Structures are given as C-alpha cells and as structure tokens.
C-alpha cells in the first residue's frame, strides 16, 4: 500500500475535522454534519476504487474471465 494514499486520507480527515469544528463554533451544525458526511463519502469512494483495482489484479493473476 502506498504511504501517499494513507497521507491523503489522513490529510482529508484532518481538514474535514478542522472545518467541522469551525462550522460548529459559528453555529452551523447542519453544515458541519453535511461536511463530515461528504468527507466520509470521498474516503469511501477512494477505498472502493482501490478494492476494484484489487479485484482486477486478482482476476488477472489467476486468469479469471
């Protein structure tokens, strides 16, 4: 696994958590919740793409069609 990917996900998490705290302090709890939800969805999309690449690699390795 690439270390860059881990840093990308961690950086996104830190950015979302800071943005969440700022929005909560300004009294915009609904927008903070939506921002957190969008962050989780982005990370899930990254992970789903990696799982797709893994399945393609396994299919290629074992010559499955």
Q: Count of domains in the chain?
A: 1
How far apart are alpha carbons 35 and 45 in whole angstroms? 15
pTM: 0.81
How many other CB atoms are there within 10 angstroms of residue 35's CB atom? Answer: 18
Q: What is the per-residue pLDDT for 65?
A: 65
- Print pLDDT tens along the chain (65 aa): 679 999 999 999 999 999 999 999 999 999 999 999 999 999 999 999 999 999 999 999 988 76
The angle formed by the CA atoms of residues 32, 30 and 17, to the nearest 5 degrees, is: 10
Query: Which domain, by its residues, includes 35?
Result: 3-61
């Amino acid at each position: 696994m690439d270390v860059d990917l881990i840093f990308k996900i961690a950086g996104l998490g830190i950015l979302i958590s800071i943005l969440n705290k700022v929005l909560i302090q300004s009294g915009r709890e609904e927008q903070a919740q939506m921002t957190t939800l969008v962050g989780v969805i982005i990370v899930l999309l990254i992970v789903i793409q990696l799982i797709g690449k893994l399945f393609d690699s396994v299919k290629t390795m074992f010559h499955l069609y």
